[in-house]
Amino acid sequence: MDQRKTIAFHSYKGGTGKTTLITNLAAFYAKKGLKVCLLDLDFPAPSLTSYFRKMPCKYINDVLEGEAQISDVIVDLTSELELKGKFFVGFSSPRKLDIDEIEFRHNEKWQINALKRLLLAKNELFRELKVDIIFLDTSPGIRYWSINTLAAADFTAILMKDSDMDIEGTRKMINDIYDSLTRFGSKYFLLLNKVPGAFPLDELHNENSEKAFRDELERVVGAQVIGSIPCFCDIQFSRHEFLFAIKKPEHPFSKRIAALAENIRNIIEQ
């Protein structure tokens, strides 16, 4: 990857599989030799501590409070996952008090200072750890900190499912938020997730139907669709669906992740 970039993952509402997708993509890039950092900025519903089964001493919340440096927070999972590149993860606190503080107890002045600290932390990751790409997992909808996260990103991957609510909500967010951010150089694209038909009987018919749906969606929503992931029940209902793209590379989900990773790479290197 020639240029260091930051990608935020966002959605109109929850349940789109955002965290599953971002963790698998980030780890896949690290598997291919890139230096990757994944930051959990979904403060109302932090999940990476559970996903990776880690309980660090310091959290990203401490960085935003000015009580820690990003180097105090980052956990290196490269050796544990046996990856070719580097895979750093920054966790947000699952403690109820910390969740309430981010969402309800801080005023606008604190939010502005916290955004400045996030930008400084991002620059330190690029400068000191020589990270190639930073992934930001943020909370769905229009929350104060979600907007801050989008403002800190070069690209936003908007996740959505094939439903009227997702389509209309995403279209509205593009008009109200994303188009405004493009004035500052940020770009966005759509990712379809949990698309019905993981194991179609008629592959050709299914591919044609998927392309037709994507073309129509781009027309209605007004954004480029760069990939889609079918709904795989064995992943969705797995008790601990941990990094299929790394652990089960021959799984159809993993192959979709590989194709999606290539599409994203082409987009951010243009």
**Residue 128 falls inside a structural domain:** yes
Confidence of residue 103 (pLDDT cuts 50, 70, 90): low
| 134 part of a folded domain | yes
pTM over 0.85: yes
Considering the chain, what is the average pLDDT of its residues? 88
Q: Are strands 86-90 and 75-76 parallel, antiparallel or unpaired?
A: antiparallel
Considering the domain boundaries, does residue 21 fall inside one?
yes
Q: Is the dihedral of CA 13, 97, 134, 245 positive or negative?
A: negative
CA 75 – CA 88 distance, rounded (Å): 6
* Size of the chain in residues: 270
Asked, for residue 179, whether it belongs to a domain, the answer is no
Q: Which domain holds residue 131?
A: 5-159+238-268
Q: So what's the pLDDT on residue 28? A: 97
Helix (H) or strand (E) holding 40: strand 35-41
Nearest Cα to Cα of residue 57 among 75, 39, 41: 75
Residue 144 lies in a domain: yes
238 pLDDT band (50/70/90 cuts)?
Answer: confident
> Can you spell out the DSSP letters for 106-155?
--HHHHHHHHHHHHHHHHHHHHHS--SEEEEEE-SSS-HHHHHHHHT-SE
Domain count along the chain: 1
CATH number of the domain to which 91 belongs: 3.40.50.300
Residue 231 resides in a domain: no
φ, ψ of residue 13 in degrees (nearest 5) = -145, 170
User: What mean pLDDT do residues 24-43 have?
Assistant: 96
**Does some domain include residue 178?**
no
pLDDT > 90: percent of the chain:
60
